[in-house]
Structure 1
Amino acid sequence: MKIAVVPGDGIGKEVVPAALLVLDALGLDIEKVPLEIGYSKWKQTGNAITDDDIKTIKECDCVLFGAITTPPDPNYKSVLVRLRKELDLYANIRPFKPLINVKLPCSGKFDFVIVRENTEGMYSGVEELHEDAAYTTRIVTRKGSERIAERACALAKKRKEHLTIVHKANVLKSDSFFRDVCTGVAKKNNISYNEKLVDAMAYDMILNPGKYDVIVTTNLFGDILSDEAAAIAGGLGLCPSANIGDRYALFEPIHGSAPDIAGTGNANPIAAILSVSMMLDWAGNTEMARSIDKAVDSVLASHITTPDLGGSYSTHYVGEAIAHLV
C-alpha cells in the first residue's frame, strides 16, 4: 500500500508522527510519501497545494492527513475542499463511541456514525463576494444525495439496519430534495429509517445519543453535528474520520490545527492514531486495525494521557506507548 503522508499545519506536525509510530510498529509493507501541504506552504510559496501535489496523491492509494490552518484571507483556497473534490471523496464518515476512562458530559452508552455528504452543499465552492453582499450557492444533486445515501445504507446493513436522515426540509427546498432521495434509497435497500430536523437533532443527540446508529446528512449539517458529537465522546482529540470515494480515501483526526497548543507537545494523538485504524479497515487489514483499537484502550486504561484528558504525558510518549502494544 502506498500512502501520502500530509502532516499539514499546527498540531498536525505532532500527531501524525505519533500515528506513524503506531503504523510502523505493525511491520506492514507500506510505502510512505511525505508531502508539505497547507498554510505554511502558502506563506512561503503562495500555494497551499499545487497540481503536482494532487498528481502525487493520485499516485497513492490513500492519504493520512493531520490538520490545516485556514486563514481569513479571500485569496486562500481551502486545501480540504480541493482534495475532496479532486479525489471525489464524497463520503465523510465519523464514528463516535465512549473510550475507556474518558470523562463524558452525558451518561449512557452510545455508538453511532455520522455519514456526511462531502463534496457539495454549502461547501460547493460557488461563492460571490461584493461590497454590500455575499452569496454562497448550496448545491444538492441527485447523484450526490443518492451515493451518500447508498454509502450510509451499506454501513447500516453491517450495524442495526436503521438510518436517521437529518435535514431542514421544513424551510429549505434543497433539503426536501435531499430527504426524498435518501428515503427512496433507504426503501430500495430495505433499511428502516426516521427523519430528524437538524435543530431537533442537535438537541436530542446530546440528551439521547444512544438512540442513534447511522446518521446521514448534508455537508454543513454533518460538519456541525460531528463536532458536537465529539464533545459527547470526550473531545476532538479522540475522534477519527474517513473521507471515502470510489477510488481514493483520506483519513484524518476531526480536530483542527490548534495553533494555541502547536509546538508544546501536548496535543492528543489518539484521533490521528484511530484514523490509522480506520485506514487499515478500509484497506482490508481488519486484524491490524483492531490491534490498534485495543492498544488505545489499554493505554487509556493505564491513564497514560495528554493534558486534555487530565494527564501529563506528551504527544510522542502516548504515541510510543500505543505503538509498544500493537
Structure 2
Amino acid sequence: MKAVLIPGDGIGREIAESVREVSAALNTGIEWQEFAAGAEYAAESGELIAPGTLDAIEACGWALKGPTATPIGKGFRSINVQLRQRFSTYANLRPVHTLPGVPTRFDNVDLVIVRENTEDLYKGIEYMLNDEIANGVKLITRPACEKICRFAFDYARKNGRKKVTAVHKANIMKLTDGLFLRTFREVAAEYPEITADDCIIDALCMKLVQKPEQFDVLVAPNLYGDIISDLCAGLVGGLGFAPSANIGDSTRIYEAVHGSAPDIAGQDKANPSAILMAFAMMLNDLGETDKAAKLNAAILAQVEEGKVVTADIGGTAGTKEFTQAIISRLAE
C-alpha cells in the first residue's frame, strides 16, 4: 500500500528516517510517498505545503507527519489546521500512558484524549470591530458534537474502556459548551454499559495533576482538547512520548505532536519515540495489530532498560543508535 510521509521541519527528517527503517524491518510493505511542508520549505519556495501533497493524501487516505513549524507574521495558517479542515479529520486521538523507565510524578497513568478537531475557536473566525476590539467566534454545532461524542464511546466500547468524561465550561458558556454537554448526554444514553460523567475544564486540570488515574477517556471540544492533551503528555514524561491520530471518514493522518526542536536538528540527538508510536497507531488501524504491538513493546522495553536511550530521558544514544536498538528488538 501507499502512504504519505511528511518529515516536516527541524528534527523531522531524522525521525522520519527512523520510521522508514522500522517500517522496512517490520516488512510492512508500505510504499512511502514523501512530501515537504513547513517553515523551512516555505523559506525556499514561498509555499507552506509542496504541490501534490494534498492530492496524494486524498488518494492514499493515510499519512504520517513529523513536526512542522508555521512562519510567524507572514499570513500562513497552521499546516495541522489546514490538513484537519481539508480532510475533515474530525477526531484527534491522543493515548497517554506511563512508560517504565521514564521518571515522572505518576506511575499509573492510562488515559485517552478524544478532541474535536474541526470547529470551536480554532475555526479561525476572527475580526476587528475597531482598532481596539477584536472578536473571535466560538463555533459549536450539534452534528460535530454528536460525531465526536459517538467516536469517543465507540472507541471506549471497542477498546474495553469503562468510562467517558466530557470536558466543558457549560456553567459559563451555557449555549456553546451547553450544546456540547447536552449532546454528550444524549449520546451517552446509547451506551449504557459505559459510565458517562462530565467535568469542568479548570477542575479537570486540577484533578489530572492530583489523581490522573481516576480518568479513562476524555472527550472535549477543540481548544480544551488541545490544552489537556499537552497537560496529560506532561504526566508521562513530555511530548517526546505523545503520538496522535487525526481521524476522518476517509482519511487518517498520524503525527508526532512535539515541536521541530531546531536547536538539535541535524545533530542525531532527537528521540523518535513519538513518531514511532504514531506509526504503531497507524499499523494498528491498518489491521497490522501484531506488528503494532511488537513495535510498541520494543519501544517500551528499550526505554525501560535505559541503556541505549536519547538524552531527553537520561541517555547518551543518538537517534540512529536508538532506532537500531529498536530494530534489533523487533528481530528477536
TM-score w.r.t. the length of structure 1 is: 0.96
- Residue deviations 1:176-231 (CA, integer Å, cap 9, x gap): 11111111111122232111000111111111111111100011111110101111
Distance 1:169 1:31 in 2: 46
Quote the residue 2:167 is aligned against: 166
Distance 1:31 1:95 in 2: 26
Asked if the contact 2:14/2:270 (under 8 Å) is kept, the reply is: yes
Quote the residue 1:318 is aligned against: 322
Sequence identity (%): 36
Question: Given the alignment of the two structures, is residue 182 of structure 1 paired with residue 184 of structure 2, yes or no?
Answer: yes
SS of structure 1 residue aligned to 2:165: strand
Quote the residue 1:204 is aligned against: 207
Q: Which moved more, 1:258-267 or 1:90-99?
A: 258-267
Quote the residue 1:110 is aligned against: 109
Gap runs ≥5 in structure 2: none
SS of structure 2 residue aligned to 1:258: coil
Structure 2 counterpart of 1:82, one-letter code: Q
Asked if the contact 1:237/1:267 (under 8 Å) is kept, the reply is: no
Quote the residue 1:135 is aligned against: 135
Change (3 A) 1:11 1:80: same
- Residue deviations 1:153-178 (CA, integer Å, cap 9, x gap): 01111223311000011111211111
Asked if the contact 1:166/1:215 (under 8 Å) is kept, the reply is: yes
1:277 to 276, 280, 297: 280
Structure 2 counterpart of 1:218, one-letter code: P
Per-residue deviation, 1:263: 2.4
Count of residue pairs the alignment pairs up: 325
Distance 1:310 1:135 in 2: 45
Q: Which moved more, 1:121-130 or 1:34-43?
A: 121-130
Quote the residue 2:266 is aligned against: 263
Per-residue deviation, 1:283: 0.7
Change (3 A) 1:176 1:51: farther
SS of structure 2 residue aligned to 1:67: coil
Question: Given the alignment of the two structures, is residue 17 of structure 1 paired with residue 34 of structure 2, yes or no?
Answer: no
Distance 1:186 1:201 in 2: 19
Structure 2 counterpart of 1:200, one-letter code: A
Per-residue deviation, 1:132: 2.6
Distance 1:180 1:203 in 2: 24
Structure 1 counterpart of 2:250, one-letter code: R
- Residue deviations 1:267-300 (CA, integer Å, cap 9, x gap): 1110111011000011111000000011112211
TM-score w.r.t. the length of structure 2 is: 0.94
Asked if the contact 2:36/2:50 (under 8 Å) is kept, the reply is: no
Distance 1:230 1:74 in 2: 30
Asked if the contact 1:61/1:248 (under 8 Å) is kept, the reply is: yes
Per-residue deviation, 1:83: 0.5
Q: State how 1:183-262 maps to structure 2 within 5 Å.
A: 183-190=185-192, 191-262=194-265
Q: State how 1:18-57 maps to structure 2 within 5 Å.
A: 18-49=18-49, 52-57=52-57
RMSD between aligned residues? 1.4
Structure 1 counterpart of 2:181, one-letter code: R
Gap runs ≥5 in structure 1: none
Quote the residue 1:101 is aligned against: 101
Per-residue deviation, 1:50: 5.3
Distance 1:144 1:260 in 2: 39
Per-residue deviation, 1:5: 0.3
Asked if the contact 1:25/1:324 (under 8 Å) is kept, the reply is: no
SS of structure 2 residue aligned to 1:123: helix
